[in-house]
Amino acid sequence: MPPVSGPAGAVVINGRPLGRFAIMAVVNRTPDSFFDRGATYEFRAALAAVDRAVAEGADIIDIGGVKAGPGAEVDVAEELRRVVDVVAAVRERHPHVVISVDTWRAEVGRAVAEAGADLLNDTWGGVDPELAEVAAEHRLGLVCAHAGGLRPRTRPHRVGYDDVVADVIAHVTAEAERAVALGVPPEGILIDPAHDFGKNTRHSLEITRRLGELVATGWPVLVAVSNKDFIGETLGRPVQKRGVGTTAVLAVSAWLGARVFRVHDVAAARRALRAVEALAGQAPAPRARP
């Protein structure tokens, strides 16, 4: 299949335009992240991780205060404590980077908007309908994702779809259209199939193969596949050894037209995306060596 060039319109998040491909760096202020096990939980460690990601070419910093999977309860007050001060500090240190916050809660969305966030990453598929209202009120970008109707921080159990891609498309496009109707800037909306959220490995692989169908909706597609379980199960690799598989899925997703890539390893993702651009003839040809 030929590479898909993606929508003609630019992606603009809160007045900040993104390029053909944009890298979203994960920075978790959680003590129990599945990947880094709390390496960026401490405030100064989180800021150092942001500085590294920006230096390596990240376009977006995605700050999260609650582990996606099951674990210790994190109430609104604790989530606010974990993310608001980091957002404010990153806004001061990196005025031009796009700041995203991974949350499903409208209360958190409102607080981080006031602290300087540009994008609300609603990975749980609109479980709190007021979050889109917050994005509209503050003219922020919004990620519209598909979690198969799961409650936040729960895992799928014997989940089934007649057609998982059709289900994803129906849900994320409806969420995107609702967001526009509320007043969210359409150029700041991304759709995310949310690999592994409400899905098993077979579903996540099917979504990856058919990603072009999401791209064909005209909404810019975000993929968040970095080190996820479907990669580990497919390759039989533990969490810390899924880098090669992640790079492969990122490259395939870029080739099929995805625009934004949520990753743990910014430098590796940037190299992979440069390779895709070169293969697709969208980057300057390298100089021949004498």
Any domain includes 3: no
Q: What's the total number of domains in the chain?
A: 1
- Confidence tier at 150 by pLDDT (50, 70, 90): very high
Residue 262 forms part of a structural domain? yes
Of 265, 11, 39, the C-alpha closest to 118 is: 11
Condensed to tens digits (0 to 9), the pLDDT of residues 102-130 reads 999 999 999 999 999 999 999 999 999 99
Residues 216-226, mean pLDDT to the nearest whole number:
97
Let me know if residue 284 belongs to a domain: no
Q: Give the residue numbers spanning the domain of 183.
A: 11-279
**Which CATH number characterizes residue 172's domain?**
3.20.20.20
Confidence of residue 287 (pLDDT cuts 50, 70, 90): low
pTM listed for this prediction:
0.94
Within-domain flag for 6 = no
pLDDT band, very low/low/confident/very high, at 284 (cuts 50, 70, 90): low
- The pLDDT-based confidence of 35 (bands split at 50, 70, 90) is confident
Q: What percentage of the chain carries pLDDT values higher than 90? A: 88
pLDDT exceeds 90 at position 200: yes
- Residue 1: inside a domain, yes or no? no
Residue 279 has pLDDT above 90, yes or no: yes
Please answer whether residues 30 and 102 qualify as being in contact, where contact means their C-beta atoms are separated by less than 8 angstroms: no
Q: Return the pLDDT at 286.
A: 59
Residue 5: predicted pLDDT: 44
Q: Please identify which residue in the block is written with the tokens 């209360």.
A: 107
Is 4 within a domain? no
Amino acid identity, residue 2?
P
- For every residue of 249-260, DSSP letters joined together read HHHHHHHTT--E
**Residue 14, both tokens:** 């809160």
Decide if 242 is catalytic.
no
pLDDT of residue 7: 42
Alpha helices per DSSP H over the chain: 43-55, 76-93, 106-115, 130-138, 164-182, 201-209, 211-215, 229-235, 243-255, 266-279
Residue 74 lies in a domain: yes
pLDDT of residue 3: 46
Of 105, 228, 242, 259, the catalytic one is 228
Give me the catalytic one of 199, 259, 262, 270: 262
Name the average pLDDT for the chain.
94
Q: State the angle between helix axes of 106-115 and 130-138 in degrees (0 to 180), rounded to the nearest 10.
A: 20
* The predicted structure's pLDDT at residue 170: 98
**Which pLDDT band holds residue 157 (cuts at 50, 70, 90)?**
confident
Is residue 67 flagged as an active site residue?
no
Residue 11 has pLDDT above 70, yes or no: yes
Is the pLDDT at 267 greater than 90? The verdict is yes
User: Does some domain include residue 5?
Assistant: no
